[in-house]
Amino acid sequence: MARRKGRILAFQALYSWDLGNIDIDNILDFSWVEEESLEKMGEESLTFAKLLVSGTIEHIEEIDSIIKEHLSRWDFDRLNKVDLAILRISVYPLLYQKDLHSSIVIDEAIDISKDFGSDDSYKFINAVLDNVRKSQAS
């Protein structure tokens, strides 16, 4: 449960960062999150969220390139910002956190997209991430 909370926080952070509402320093200190929410989250969730956000931003060009490669009949620049943030925080562990099982990463991304994305976002997210997973396995 701690990692799920961390993924959701990381998604929210990347979404805000992408919209330009929060700079990178404020993203990583989570000063934009209500103190009560941070206390409920716990240290493990915060640590995991920081790892996802910092790693994703550090490797953003490669991650975006991988996402572009695996978009089928879709233009990267037209991606919904919610979907893009979910894809980014999910592609990062598929590429760089080999200790996390890919099916867990993809399942979590699907769940987050069902909660925050449009009605069909989860299908799109699943297809793109499954293609990334397959390309990493080969």
Q: With a threshold of 0.85, does the pTM exceed it?
A: yes
pLDDT tens, residue by residue, 15-28: 988 888 677 777 87
Burial of 71 (0-12, 13-18, 19+ CB in 10 A): middle
Encode pLDDT of 5-58 as tens digits. Answer: 889 999 999 998 888 867 777 787 777 777 777 677 788 888 898 999 999 999
Rounded to an integer, the average pLDDT of 48-75 is 93
Q: Are 86 and 112 in contact (CB under 8 A)?
A: yes
